[in-house]
Amino acid sequence: MSKYTGSQCMICRGTFTDEDDVVVCPDCGTPYHRACWQQAGRCVNEGLHHSGGSWAADQEKIRLRIGGKVCPKCQFVNMPDAAACTNCGEPLREEDTPQQQDAPAQGFRVQLPDGQSIYFNSADPCCGMSPDDDMAGERLGDVAGFVRSNTLYYIPLFKRFRDTGRKLSLNLSCVIFPHLYFAYRKMWPMALLTVLILNLCSVPSLMLGMLSTLSTPDLMEQLASLYGTDAAMFDGLKDFLAANEQVFQSLYVPLFLVNVAVRLLLCIFGNHLYFRHVLRKVGRIRQTAPTPATRQALLRAEGGTNVWNILGCLGISYALSCGIYMVLFFVFL
């Protein structure tokens, strides 16, 4: 068995078999059918050439991410379902997997916006549609496999986006905590951008609140007793805030309205942003994964949701808010 068996030729997208005549790029090690290599006349995996990487290392990282088996003899990383090492033929121990009992399917019918209805059950992530249906250029089964959580809501919604071209829907989570929603759905660029915008919009409120706090006589006495002569830095900070109080008050209402507008826009377009995110990620996985088994494993690993991301996003938001205070304190030290 060749170590390329089951991998994918990047030109014809065909899967290598034991009988295929395979040639590899001398620079990055990407394998091709000999006929494909001769037809193209070059390696099409130019990204590895620029980065100095190798095809074998990239594939090993993918297999490790999805729980690949390491051969005890040659240390080659195999697919999780491999019975023997692809590189040397050494038998691999089958991992014990818990048997899951199938829950009774609860079927029901859902009315679609176009007047049609579909019948599906909670055990069917494709919501009664064929996994091979086209979903804006990607396979529906792959899209559902990436979404994983709450497909009963998202798949019919994605179908509406695809069929009507409309981008509007309601995502109430994005009104209350849009950054947490994006982090939960592993959309980190949108989560970080939203955190930055919302924190910037809250700066006038933070400054006015700080000024109100520093204007409390009892607090200033406590600070003086705690810091002694160093408490003068708080007087400088208080004077700075008082001198710019009018600026903060004039910015408070406009930035508050910006905050509300951002939340409303994300409420309306948040689901479509997630739709585009899913299609983009599924497309990248399809181009990267050499076999259907690898593709499904990557969809499970990179898709779905992550509750811990919510805590991470809360930490980033809190750190950014504290950073604003720290900058001011350092300025007046």
Would you state the pLDDT for residue 146? 94
pLDDT at 125: 79
For the domain covering 1-53, report its CATH number.
3.30.40
Residue 99, pLDDT score: 39
The structure tokens listed for 242 are 């008082």
Amino acid 94: pLDDT: 58
| pLDDT tier, 96 (very low <50, low <70, confident <90, very high otherwise) | very low
Indicate the range of 22-26, 66-70, 251-255, 310-314 predicted with least confidence.
Answer: 66-70
Q: What is the pLDDT of residue 332?
A: 59
| 316 dihedral zone (left: phi>0; alpha: psi -120 to 50; beta) | alpha
Torsion of CA 321, 323, 328, 329, to 10 degrees: 120
pLDDT per residue as tens digits for the range 163-178 = 898 999 999 999 999 9
Mean pLDDT, rounded, for 151-167: 90
pLDDT of residue 183: 96
Q: How far is CA 14 from the centre of its chain?
A: 29
- Per-residue pLDDT at 118 exceeds 60: no
Q: Which residue do the tokens 């179908």 mark?
A: 159
Alpha-carbon span 146 to 61, nearest angstrom = 19
Q: 161-170, 210-219, 243-252: which has the minimum mean pLDDT?
A: 210-219
Place of tokens 């919604």: 157
C-alpha gyration radius of the chain: 28
**Per-residue confidence at 301, pLDDT binned at 50, 70, 90?**
confident
Segment 182-206, tens digit of pLDDT: 999 999 999 999 999 999 999 888 8
Q: Say whether pTM exceeds 0.75.
A: no
Is 15's pLDDT higher than 90? no
Q: Where in the chain is the domain with CATH 3.30.40?
A: 1-53
